[in-house]
């Protein structure tokens, strides 16, 4: 079975080479899947796509014309896929619903601690032989109220770590997890009472720009906001205004609404034309990482193995249980 892998990096090739079934024949392409690059899938039976690949209706129709019958997402999110069109075209879509949720949860806590204790600034100071503590004052996590929006596998893993710090935990989700029953509250109360808010919900039409001018107005002055989920959960311009007004005291982003043309690439020798993103980088209380929360050895192994299983199930006329479209 021939599979075209888009947005492929060396670590993707290493991962599939080490952990995917040897019967699968992968062709790797660094380019993102788009209407311009879709022709690279010619001669393949399936494609493997990532978070920023374009799987809109026009691209899906071109894939269908090339004979592609299966889309294997090597990620949990699927907001970039037109599932209705895939179903109409008879293209199966499967994802990796859970891969090392602890990886994202631990990165979330790393961002909280880095922003709080200003570890990134301290690191640079010490390298310059500056050991002064001025400007590095943090706060105790113990006793603070942390609000988690989304309590799926990643939210639950984050909650378990948060409890270990002795924080008060508030949770919101349309589908509650029995392990966290006592911690659920309304979204309004979570906004109003939390010292730290962390996003772990999927991107849907209902959650797009969940963090906006109105929700930000309800939050505590100086709130810490962390997003390791999907960039479009946040209205970035509203967040910039809240940074300027000091409503947001700390902002940690591993995702960005317009990240598709920025993240996963080395742009150090180029000019970035995104003025909103560049404005974010000017704030001293903003920490941005390039969609790396998932990036651990354990997560890559699970992604490779589950993606392989999804492809093998399709090739064998079976279901893996991870299908979004059968």
The answer to whether the beta carbons of residues 325 and 93 sit under 8 Å apart is: yes
Complete DSSP assignment for 96-155: ---S-HHHHHHHHHHHHHHHHHTHHHHHHHHHTT----TT-----STT-EEEEE--SHHH
Per-residue model confidence as pLDDT tens digits over 300-313: 999 999 999 999 99
The answer to whether the beta carbons of residues 60 and 41 sit under 8 Å apart is: no
pLDDT of residue 98: 78
Q: What is the C-alpha separation between 317 and 157, in angstroms, rounded?
A: 34
- 3-class DSSP assignment, residue 244: helix
Q: Which of 272, 282, 274, 210 is nearest to 243 (CA)?
A: 282
Report the interhelical angle of 153-164 vs 101-117 (nearest 10°).
Answer: 50
Please say if 200 is a catalytic residue: no
Q: Which of 240, 239, 143 is nearest to 195 (CA)?
A: 143
pLDDT of residue 100: 87
pLDDT of residue 315: 95
Q: Which of 116, 103, 77, 102 is nearest to 225 (CA)?
A: 116
Active-site residue, selected from the candidate residues 213, 230, 246, 275: 230
Please identify every stretch of the chain with a pLDDT value under 70, giving residue numbers as ranges.
none
Sign of the C-alpha dihedral, residues 127, 130, 131, 137?
Answer: negative
Per-residue model confidence as pLDDT tens digits over 251-295: 999 999 999 989 999 999 999 999 999 999 999 999 999 999 999
Active-site residue, selected from the candidate residues 32, 183, 200, 259: 259
Q: Which of 259, 251, 255, 253 is nearest to 286 (CA)?
A: 251
pTM of the model: 0.92
- Distance, CA of 152 to chain centre: 13
Please say if 291 is a catalytic residue: yes
The answer to whether the beta carbons of residues 144 and 167 sit under 8 Å apart is: yes
The answer to whether the beta carbons of residues 16 and 22 sit under 8 Å apart is: no
Please say if 2 is a catalytic residue: no
pLDDT of residue 99: 81
């Amino acid at each position: 079975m021939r599979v075209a892998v888009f947005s492929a990096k060396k670590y993707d090739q290493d991962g599939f080479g080490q952990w995917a079934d040897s019967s699968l024949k992968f062709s790797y392409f660094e380019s993102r899947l788009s209407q311009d690059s879709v022709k690279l899938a010619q001669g393949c039976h399936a494609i493997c796509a990532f978070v920023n690949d374009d799987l809109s209706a026009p691209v899906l129709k071109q894939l269908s014309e090339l004979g592609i019958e299966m889309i294997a997402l090597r990620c949990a999110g699927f907001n970039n896929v037109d599932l209705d069109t895939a179903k109409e075209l008879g293209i199966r879509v499967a994802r990796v619903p859970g891969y090392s949720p602890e990886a994202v949860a631990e990165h979330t806590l790393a961002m909280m601690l880095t922003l709080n204790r200003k570890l990134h600034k301290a690191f640079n100071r010490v390298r310059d032989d500056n050991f002064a503590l001025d400007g590095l004052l943090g706060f105790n996590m113990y006793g603070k109220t942390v609000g988690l929006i989304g309590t799926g596998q990643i939210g639950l893993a984050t909650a378990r770590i948060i409890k270990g710090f002795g924080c008060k935990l508030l949770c919101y989700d349309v589908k509650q997890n029995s392990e966290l029953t006592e911690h659920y509250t309304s979204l309004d109360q979570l906004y109003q009472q939390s010292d730290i808010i962390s996003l772990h919900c999927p991107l849907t039409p209902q959650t797009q720009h969940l963090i906006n001018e109105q929700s930000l107005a309800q939050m505590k002055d100086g709130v810490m906001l962390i997003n390791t989920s999907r960039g479009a959960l946040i209205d970035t311009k509203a967040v910039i205004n809240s940074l300027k007004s000091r409503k947001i005291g700390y902002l940690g982003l591993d995702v960005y609404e317009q990240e598709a043309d920025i993240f996963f690439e080395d742009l150090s020798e180029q000019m970035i034309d995104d003025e909103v993103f560049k404005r974010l980088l000017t704030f001293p209380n903003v920490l941005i990482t390039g969609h790396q929360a998932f990036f651990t050895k354990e997560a890559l192994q699970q992604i490779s193995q589950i993606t392989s299983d999804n492809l093998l199930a399709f090739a064998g006329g079976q279901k893996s249980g991870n299908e979004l479209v059968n």
